[in-house]
Amino acid sequence: MLQSTAGSAGPLVEMKNAGVRRSGRWLVRGVDLTVRRGEIVTLIGPNGSGKSTTVKTAIGVIAPDEGTVRREPALKVGYVPQKVSVDWTLPLSVERLMRLTGPLTRGKMDEALQAAGIAHLAGAEVQTLSGGEFQRALLARALVREPDLLVLDEPVQGVDFSGEIALYQLIREIRDRTGCGILLISHDLHVVMAETDTVICLNGHVCCRGTPENVLKSPEYVRLFGARAGDTLAIYHHHHDHTHLPDGRVRLTDGTVAEHCEEHHAHDHAGGAKEERDAG
């Protein structure tokens, strides 16, 4: 207990000049990266730019071939990898998936499934889930561990646009509620930007870094993604003042529950977003 309190002042993960080399080629090199408690760090970059390699090095799945990676002692990591495929011969329900790496109380499991919006799928076999539902299940599994550091490798892949906004919203809520650090890989800039403290743009090395607004303006970013990127990719600044509950009611920010969101809504996406998610 004493140790974790003492350690909480420092960074959860600190990479200094880290590089990974495979088959004579540097996958990524010269990465400096720090994640602190309550901070969201997003990695962006083109395919093959070393994003996944960087996060795997940060959490110790890969050992760096140069530079150093320092993690807080007894750091608890929750990890959602880019690709998980479960052989269909393995009978695995969502509930069982939740208990994959550690035992769990009923209450905590229900709470996490509720938070991820898939409480109704607790008993379903994971092979029957849609892409978006499976991502939510993996996210629920990672966050139920109450990790110090939540690591998400392209968590919105295979999720439609409305689901994507909802997932990012959920990730921010997790951060706000638990105060964990979040290391995120994103294939796009525009949605996650608004919630991110630091964006690191990778292309085999750190190409640029800073707050979302700074990165968007930097010449390196423009060079990497083309001159039009800054025009077409708008920062998605938005604020939800309500949450849609599974039964169709609406929870407002002050905690009260209402039947509709009409009088309160900042922007109306209620019908469309929910229906699309249910269909998928």
Using the minimum distance from each CB to other proteins, give the nearer residue, 36 or 141. 141
Specify the 3-state DSSP secondary structure of 111.
Answer: helix
Indicate the residue among 52 and 218 with the shorter CB distance to other proteins. 52
**Tokens read off for 208:** 């640029």
Instruction: Give min distance, CB of 31 to other proteins, in A.
Output: 18
Q: Rounded to whole angstroms, what are the CA distances from 122 to 62, 88, 93, 228, 269?
A: 32, 18, 7, 44, 27
Q: Which helix (H) or strand (E) holds 138?
A: helix 131-144
Least distance from C-beta 89 to other proteins, angstroms? 5
DSSP codes of every residue in 195-210 = G-SEEEEESSSEEEEE
- Interacting residue ranges for other proteins, rule: CB under 8 A: 56, 59-61, 77-79, 81, 84-93, 96-97, 100-102, 125-131, 134, 145, 151
CA 199/CA 184 separation, integer angstroms: 9
Task: Report yes or no: 162 and 66 within 8 Å, Cβ to Cβ.
Answer: no
Residue (30 or 131) nearer to other proteins, CB: 131
Distance CA 188, CA 254 (A): 32
Q: Toward other proteins, which CB reaches closer, 128 or 256? A: 128
Task: Closer to other proteins by CB, 77 or 216: give it.
Answer: 77
Least Å distance, CB 29 to other proteins, is: 22
Q: Dmax over Cα atoms in the chain, in whole Å? A: 61
Q: Residue 185 belongs to what H/E stretch?
A: strand 181-185
For residue 9, the minimal CB distance to other proteins (Å) is 23
Give the nearer residue to other proteins in terms of CB position, either 88 or 161: 88
Q: Minimum Å distance from CB 202 to other proteins?
A: 19
CB of 139 to other proteins, least distance (A): 12
